Chain A
Amino acid sequence: MEVNQLTAHELLDKLKNKQVVFKDIMEALYVRIQAVEPKVKAYARFKSENKLSLNPQTNGLLGGLPITIKDNICTEGLNTECCSKILGNFRPPYDATVINKLKTAGSSIFPLKANMDEFAFGSSTENSYFGSTHNPWNLECVPGGSSGGSAAAVASDEAIWALGSDTGGSIRQPASFCGVVGLKPTYGRVSRFGLIAFASSLDQIGPITKDVEDAAILTRIISGYDPNDSTSVNQDVPDYTNNLGKDIKGLKIGIPKEYFIDGMDVEVKRVIEEAINKLESLGVISSKVTLPHTQYAVPVYYIIATAEASSNLARFDGVQYGYRAKSDNLIEMYKKTRAEGFGEEAKRRIILGTFVLSHGYYDAYYLRALKVRTLIKNDFDTVFKDFDCMVTPTSPTPAFKIGERAADPLKMYLSDIYTISVNLAGIPAISIPCGFTKKGLPVGLQIMAKPFNEEMLFRLAYAFEQNTQWHKIKPRL
């Protein structure tokens, strides 16, 4: 096996035992990127002729181990553009808190940023100014989104591990489509400082990794209270690796009946049922539960997320940074800059969000959505009184074809039907590989837990992973 194919924890062992050095990892990654990146396009602004240089950050626990960062997380002096034209070569003058934490831990920030849907608006990574990323399992398919670049890079061994961000499923759904592990931590667990906001009340940064142990290691590094983020919670971060390997016998697992609906792909259904059987064989006790307001999650999400986004993205106006259209008139400059700088989906969401907040519609849309959000959260609270976890599919379908849903925004929005509620409720959830369709596309199992109980997710996910081989299968590229 090549060095770049190893997991982070395997590499850490080898680094410690001097079986590999930092240079070996970087060289293996470069060779791999040169070979497959033209097909996968996991990175924004990749040019094969450019030699990548990286100063290793070797004086921490991680021994310089490189990490791939989604293009919406600020890295000082490194292009951070949310894969949008409007950020036009923006180089932040500061590092996001997670980047600081990674550097302190001895991680090297990979100089190429991962591709994504513009401003994380999408479920397919087709809405990138730099073009679509391709699914390493089937190049005609999308990698999911919006963290499609991060997931594809990890799946294709163009990265050891990566960070993504998840507002409505943007880590879990691409992890599921690409056959890797993706975690959305509890809202407030990981600092959002330096994450270019899509929807502030829903966004969280999280890991995309090759296995559960890597996810546990990375989550611990990036988590914790940040005095620069008012919404970060001051609560101790446990060593998530401690609970790996702990018995799962007797854990009570809820299976929400609303997640097993008609539109669900039969192959996905089969794989998920097999996965649940596997968990039961390992001793968990599963029963059907109900989350009665599930059907309202997508409409609530598209009100709250677009409303917040319309305001968060107002700052992209050509004044301080990024793209500016030529005009002698201020209002015209604004309008042209934003018309030319934002892609179609961004414009659609900004206008929808502006509308739902506007005078005369606020109560009917935004306020109503906030109230239904309370109902959705209450659904989860009720189930978690009696259950340790819930298990669902991550997505109703496997990866779909590039272009297939691009023309129908509503259909695209429904791709996130199983992931959105988690963000609305603020709870943590993980997606892990749990099998393949007949056509060879990966399927992800989503596990949800109570707020700040990431430990439970890792424990259950690890047990499943250790008793299956799905995470070891690599795409042929």
Chain B
Amino acid sequence: MKYETVIGLEVHLQLKTKTKAFCGCAIDFGKIPNSGVCPVCLGFPGALPVYNKEALSSAIKVALAFSCQIQEYTKFDRKNYFYPDLPKNYQISQFDLPLSRNGYLDIFSENKAKRIGITRVHLEEDAGKLIHELNASLVDFNRAGVPLLEVVSEPDLNSPQEAFDYLTGLKNIIEYLDVSDCDMEKGSLRCDANISLRPEGAKELGVKAELKNMNSFKGVKDALVFEVSRQTELFEAGQTMVQETRLWDADKGLTISMRNKEGAKDYRYFPDPDLTVFIIDQPMVSQIKAQLPELPREKMRRFTQDYGLSEYDAKILVSSKKDAQFAEECIQRYPGKDKKNIVNWLIGPLLSEANFRKSNLHELTINRDELISLIGFVEDQSISLLSAKLVLTQMIDSQKPAVVIIKENNMLQISDTVELTQIITAVIQENEKSVSSFRAGKINALMFLVGQVMKKSAGKANPKVVGELIKRRLTDA
């Protein structure tokens, strides 16, 4: 039997506000343990919460970016459970009246576009950190009370790759909004995955497993791949699944069943009486909407329309906000009409330089104007494309201007026919076999001869001119 994989993701984002959700403690994780705390975030007796204005507006931005409906009436609830990293033994969260509902994120995965539903985006607070020692567990509350957003997807994802692409797309948007660092390794983005299988065509959802403890997007994907095969085996062996929480062990590459903590029905949610309700009216939403930056899908549309980029090229460039910004600065400085030329440089040589250096496009230490001038040398045929790539590497390494590097390396291209004719004569004499092949109509032979000329000129000959000269010489004779 064939099975369909059904995945829903719960993503927690730490908002990068200056201070915590309900108190004025500055958020700074570099601090020594329990130094960024106060009676409020420690849950000391008598302390009371007041919500952070900036966190609310960041949250509304995120909800709007995912096209969610902002709920006019929203409130905080308490989620009650005991755990040492939870100072009050309840978490301030949202239950039945979340900030927003019914959004979506468009992804492009496995060669097709797909719309993934977002059930809700709601507000909550982070817990502290636990360190497990031999005989005790140690608690640091510096992280306690950091504002979190929970973004819950519909179970619309049907493969681990789709889950991966959803996370990438989500991170991309958040990065544009600049409201969270979205660094899974540092914990500013956390993801739990619900996964179940069902016979293809079945309507009802299967019994799900909730996967936790993944600390990279790839980890999420790997955990899901493992889980698909584990669940498939169970199905095929005719065993019934139990609903459970499973921890991903990245070292061993498998998920392990976790002893049951308090279940969802034990949380005793109720409206937090220490906080008032929030009425988010249309003027407030419009005001925040007006502050939204250009988002990836809009930027992509603009890049294709204004600069004539292919959708493929535009997609590569907008996949990082800073890269897109870098690219746009370069495109705007480029004097030529056909922006395709500069774009080819960006997604060609520059991107490979970035990849080689394991950095991002915008992090390359290259002056935009110098890049434009380098491209100019290629276009007026002063240097070859090959040389230009070498120059680019050196420019990034040394931060010298293009013209200096070209001169230092004596790279100016030879387009002078007299000089070239001498080299060509020598090459023709040395390669009689190829000459006859060419005359017999083999085009490849010409390429070989051009290559020999390039070699002899130490790459400085203009290949276009050389080709023309050889052709003329051999067909005339």
Contacts and interface: CB of A to CB of B under 8 A. Distances in A.
A195 B45 CA distance: 8
Interface stretch (A32-40, A311-319, A449-457): A311-319
Given A311-B90, A317-B82, A230 B50 contact: yes
Q: How large is the interface on A (under 10, 10 to 19, 20 to 34, 35 or more residues)?
A: 35 or more
B49 interface: yes
A50 interface: no
A310 B88 CA distance: 11
B268 interface: yes
Given A314-B90, A319-B139, A193 B84 contact: no
A290 interface: no
Residue among B82, B87, B265 with most chain A CB within 10 A:
B82
Nearest to A96: B46
Contacts of A231: 48, 273-276
Interface residues of B, number: 30
A308 B273 CA distance: 8
Interface in B79-114: 80, 82, 84, 87-90
A192 interface: yes
Contacts of A92: 39, 44-46
Interface string B35-48: 00001001111111
Mostly, the A contact residues are loop
Contacts of B276: 230-231
B208 interface: no
A229 B44 CA distance: 14
A357 B80 contact: yes
Contacts of A229: 48, 50
Given A314-B80, A334-B82, A87 B89 contact: no
A212 B135 CA distance: 59
B268 A200 contact: no
Given A92-B39, A308-B273, A314-B82, A230 B48 contact: yes
Nearest to A81: B45
A200 B273 contact: yes
Contacts of A80: 45-46
Interface string A184-226: 0000000011111101110000000000000000000000000
B143 interface: no
A201 B49 CA distance: 14
A74 interface: yes
Contacts of B265: 359-360
Contact of A90 (B45, B48, B90): B45
Interface in B99-142: 137, 139
Given A230-B275, A230-B276, A314-B88, A93 B48 contact: no
Nearest to A203: B273
Contact of A228 (B48, B84, B89): B48
Nearest to B42: A320
Contacts of B89: 314-315, 317
Nearest to A330: B84
20 contacts: A92-B39, A192-B48, A193-B46, A194-B46, A195-B46, A196-B45, A197-B274, A228-B50, A229-B50, A311-B90, A314-B88, A314-B90, A319-B139, A320-B42, A321-B44, A334-B82, A357-B269, A359-B265, A359-B266, A359-B268
